[in-house]
Structure 1
Amino acid sequence: MENEQVLDVFGVGIGPFNLGLAALLDQTKCKSLFFDLKSQFDWHPGMLLEGTTLQVPFLADLVTMVDPTSPYTYLNYLHEHRRLYHFYFYEKFHIPRTEYNHYCQWVAGQLPTLQFGAEVENIEQSANGRYVVTVFEREQNRRSTYEANHIVLGVGTKPYVPADFRPILGERIFHSGDYLNRKEEVLNAGSVTVIGSGQSAAEIFYDLLKGQQEQGYELSWFTRSKGFYPMEYSKLGLEHFSPDYTRYFYQLPKEKKKAVLQKQDLLYKGISFQTIADIYDLLYERTVGGVKPKVHLQALTELVSLEAAGGAFDLLLHQTEQNKEKQVKSEVVILATGYRPAIPSCLDGIRDQLIWDEEGQLVIEEHYRVKQQKEGEHHLFVQNGELHTHGVGAPDLGLGAQRNAAIVNQLIGEERYRTPAYNVFQQFGL
């Protein structure tokens, strides 16, 4: 062990949210370091498809919504890359996903507080209440310890695959987050099936549809959802992704929160109107003259079981309204089954000091602090792990800067960044 330091803030994970926190802290005197196992910043690299955009406006960058004068805004990124006029003539609020990733990499390259290729192995609490963190730095092949007053957990979510399907994951059956890494092999298959109902499933299906005529594979898309429905994107509907709604949702009783979340899928899990239109328009063109492409789309259909069968897979599907089953074969299966909050093993050392609910989820206070058995001066904060307590805005990029502002203000003990109480036109409660 070597390189002991005392920090104000220790960040676990460097996704967009902790990267935004590091950018805001860079404008303060707070002493911080952030660590990530990845070798560099890379935001969902398996889904950086050409033509795909962020589902939020460019103002939902790392800092703008709380500090538009920051040197780390997206507009300053464009200025530094001599792209302001290009963007001006582009005339779109929703930017290419590849450019958002490049923007984040540009910010990451300027922050000396970030360390990639480093695994946070263990967190413990010393007698004085501070956190003692063990980190293994791969390139240096060494372990270091750090002492910190506060921890910010920003590992976010991880790809989710139902337990029954995990044993057969491999090169020809994989989660949608790995799509681009496997695309070459997918294109050489004779049949491809996409499972899921959200934006990722739709983007992959459309990408494969565009290449189908050249490659000749059969293409199927199944979802257990009621239909291939669009995400709610009306202006008043978008106000659910505001600090006002987050505050309203947080005050609801626990059981009411669960019931509300179950009815809000289309606020954040549907498909964009544009992607649906692109798919439909291409299918329309492909069927001119009565041509029947080798394409199958079916909702209300759940994947029950999946078994390897020679060079393909047998999929048992259940149509929920008809209560009927059928079996199909596919050489490749892509599981667009979403993401779930991740509780990293490095928390094991302080697990007993944290408060968990009956479903094994962290109990998180309104201002993003994890409740502890003994409350003191040293805190654990969470980024994008509070869907169950704070609602649908937890994973939304547009609320990341607001959450970080709330965290920074607590870390430094003053209101460095303003967080206005009223931001929307509607009122959510009495």
Structure 2
Amino acid sequence: METEVYDLVGVGIGPFNLSLAALLDDIPEVTSVFFDKKPEFDWHPGMLIVGTRLQVPFMADLVTLADPTSQYSFLNYLSEKNRLYPFYFLERLDIPRREYNDYCQWAASKLENCRFGNRVVALDYIQNEENFVVTIEQIQTKETTTYRCKNLVLGTGSIPVMPKSFQGLSTEHVFHTAEFLNRQDRCRKAKSITVIGSGQSAAEVFRELLKEQMEHHYQLNWITRSRSFLSMEESKLSVEQFSPDYVNYFYQFSQEEKDKIFASQDLLYKGISSHTITDIYNLLYEHSVSGEKMNVGLQVLTEVKSIQEKGNKYEILCHQWQQKKDFTHESEIVIVGTGYRPNVPDFIQNLASYIQWDDKGRYEVEADYRLRLDIPNQIYVHSGISHSHGVGSTNLGLAVHRNKIIINNLLGQEVFPIYDKNVFQNFDAETF
């Protein structure tokens, strides 16, 4: 057992907790340690497709929006990697997703408070000492160690969602987009592939398959229940909804009103980036040269009702919901882009009696990202808070702002300034 009582223990090391770890590195007043079961930082490795871009500007790195002088900034990463001039000549704000992952790995390797290859197996609370107890299993040795802390921060991320009818089928042939790169070689050998869903991940997988379709000659289809393959809302004033100002505005509503508002904002986070749609259209156009048979199909307005194995293929029952017509479609490989859900690990249940939950079984979360608890200690949370803090909850551009609030709260003082006005438009009713 570790004898030190840490001020903060982090569970999970994704971009949000990695940002917090980096910002805390220069604040000796807070003792912290972060754990993750992965052997190293690796952000959605199955989707690190060459040519995919981060959907936020590079300034949404781990530290810049709080401390541009930090040694953990993206620009310092470029400097150490001797990539400043190539980036200068690139003349882009967005960066390759693979480079963002490499940047985070670079930062994580420098942080002594980040410990990979360590799985959290239990969380407990000692009431008479007012301490949390975190039990860690070292992945390689299977040895367990316990750590005590005053506060926790949960960064357990999200997990892929597969519809029930798709579960129990061969994961070599029916899989989530999160597994794409692990299954790409299998796709190249297939005679037919179908992608289901019309979000960014599905579009990126379809684009990659379309690039190679002429070489490998598979039938390629893309199905969505949406009325079209819709672009994400990316206009300058629209993306101001990914700001601290809008988070504060959204938080003030009742939970019933929040759920209604959030349900109307899908194109802020569920659509496809315009450059991805442009790439796909350009590829389709080139495939159609000389009137060649494209062997590519795009099907909108269509729900997938069920799927069943049929020989060496899968039969998909589809429903065109505007025409109210059913039809079947066969495919050797089926790739499902049905999104992710918040990961609430089983070990949270040991603390469940201290946590306040809403009527839908979701965390009740304070404005400053603390769970509502029946104990004096704090549990901060990064994932599973879209219902409380809105559409920007998973947006990397708000990670640093959230961590500024957490650090200020931990220290009981304003280490990082929090500004009331960050955007041009007003969300609250105000007199002009």
Specify the TM-score bucket, using the shorter chain as the normaliser: over 0.9
- 1:5·1:145 contact (CA, 8 Å) conserved in 2? no
For 2:426, what is the secondary structure of its paired residue?
A: coil
Distance 1:164 1:27 in 2: 49
- 2:35·2:118 contact (CA, 8 Å) conserved in 1? yes
Kindly state the Cα deviation for residue 281 of structure 1 after the two structures are TM-superposed.
1.1
Over residues 214-263 of structure 1, what are the superposed CA-to-partner deviations in whole Å (9 max), with x where a residue is unaligned? Answer: 10100000011121010000000010000000000000111111111111
Distance 2:116 2:259 in 1: 36
What residue is the counterpart of 2:59 in the other structure? 59
What residue is the counterpart of 2:85 in the other structure? 85
- 2:187·2:193 contact (CA, 8 Å) conserved in 1? yes
What residue is the counterpart of 2:190 in the other structure? 189
- 2:166·2:174 contact (CA, 8 Å) conserved in 1? no
For 1:119, what is the secondary structure of its paired residue?
A: strand
Kindly state the Cα deviation for residue 292 of structure 1 after the two structures are TM-superposed.
2.6
Residues 1:14 and 2:7 aligned together = no
Over residues 276-309 of structure 1, what are the superposed CA-to-partner deviations in whole Å (9 max), with x where a residue is unaligned? Answer: 1111111112112322300110111111101111
| Superposition pairs of residues 10-409 of structure 1, within 5 angstroms | 10-29=9-28, 30-127=30-127, 128-372=129-373, 374-376=374-376, 378-409=377-408
Distance 1:251 1:375 in 2: 24
For 2:193, what is the secondary structure of its paired residue?
A: strand
Distance 2:200 2:388 in 1: 24
Kindly state the Cα deviation for residue 4 of structure 1 after the two structures are TM-superposed.
4.1
- 1:198·1:336 contact (CA, 8 Å) conserved in 2? yes
Over residues 188-218 of structure 1, what are the superposed CA-to-partner deviations in whole Å (9 max), with x where a residue is unaligned? Answer: 0000000011111111101101101110100
For 1:168, what is the secondary structure of its paired residue?
A: coil
Kindly state the Cα deviation for residue 124 of structure 1 after the two structures are TM-superposed.
1.0
Kindly state the Cα deviation for residue 332 of structure 1 after the two structures are TM-superposed.
0.3
Identity of aligned pairs, percent?
A: 48
Over residues 153-178 of structure 1, what are the superposed CA-to-partner deviations in whole Å (9 max), with x where a residue is unaligned? Answer: 00111111122222215111111001
- 1:10·1:32 contact (CA, 8 Å) conserved in 2? yes
Distance 1:246 1:317 in 2: 38
- Which amino acid counterpart does residue 54 of structure 1 have in structure 2? L
Kindly state the Cα deviation for residue 335 of structure 1 after the two structures are TM-superposed.
0.5
Distance 1:286 1:235 in 2: 33
- Which amino acid counterpart does residue 208 of structure 2 have in structure 1? D
When normalised by structure 1's length, the TM-score is 0.98
Over residues 89-110 of structure 1, what are the superposed CA-to-partner deviations in whole Å (9 max), with x where a residue is unaligned? Answer: 1100000111000000000000
- 2:2·2:148 contact (CA, 8 Å) conserved in 1? no
Kindly state the Cα deviation for residue 117 of structure 1 after the two structures are TM-superposed.
1.1
Superposition RMSD in Å: 1.0
- 2:315·2:328 contact (CA, 8 Å) conserved in 1? yes
Number of equivalenced pairs: 427
For 1:22, what is the secondary structure of its paired residue?
A: helix
Unaligned runs of 5+ in 2: none
Distance 1:396 1:114 in 2: 22
- 1:257·1:389 contact (CA, 8 Å) conserved in 2? yes
What residue is the counterpart of 2:426 in the other structure? 427
- 1:342·1:385 contact (CA, 8 Å) conserved in 2? yes
- Which amino acid counterpart does residue 87 of structure 1 have in structure 2? F
- Which amino acid counterpart does residue 163 of structure 2 have in structure 1? P
- Which amino acid counterpart does residue 23 of structure 1 have in structure 2? A
- Which amino acid counterpart does residue 96 of structure 1 have in structure 2? P
- Which amino acid counterpart does residue 320 of structure 1 have in structure 2? W
Distance 1:281 1:91 in 2: 22
Larger deviation: 73-82 or 135-144? Answer: 135-144
Residues 1:412 and 2:420 aligned together = no
When normalised by structure 2's length, the TM-score is 0.97
Distance 1:166 1:257 in 2: 31
For 2:370, what is the secondary structure of its paired residue?
A: coil
Kindly state the Cα deviation for residue 327 of structure 1 after the two structures are TM-superposed.
0.5
For 2:277, what is the secondary structure of its paired residue?
A: helix
Distance 1:384 1:103 in 2: 22
Kindly state the Cα deviation for residue 375 of structure 1 after the two structures are TM-superposed.
4.0
For 2:85, what is the secondary structure of its paired residue?
A: helix
Kindly state the Cα deviation for residue 139 of structure 1 after the two structures are TM-superposed.
2.2
For 2:4, what is the secondary structure of its paired residue?
A: strand
For 2:352, what is the secondary structure of its paired residue?
A: helix
- 1:192·1:331 contact (CA, 8 Å) conserved in 2? yes
Kindly state the Cα deviation for residue 325 of structure 1 after the two structures are TM-superposed.
0.7
- Which amino acid counterpart does residue 60 of structure 2 have in structure 1? A
Distance 1:12 1:115 in 2: 10
- Which amino acid counterpart does residue 70 of structure 2 have in structure 1? S
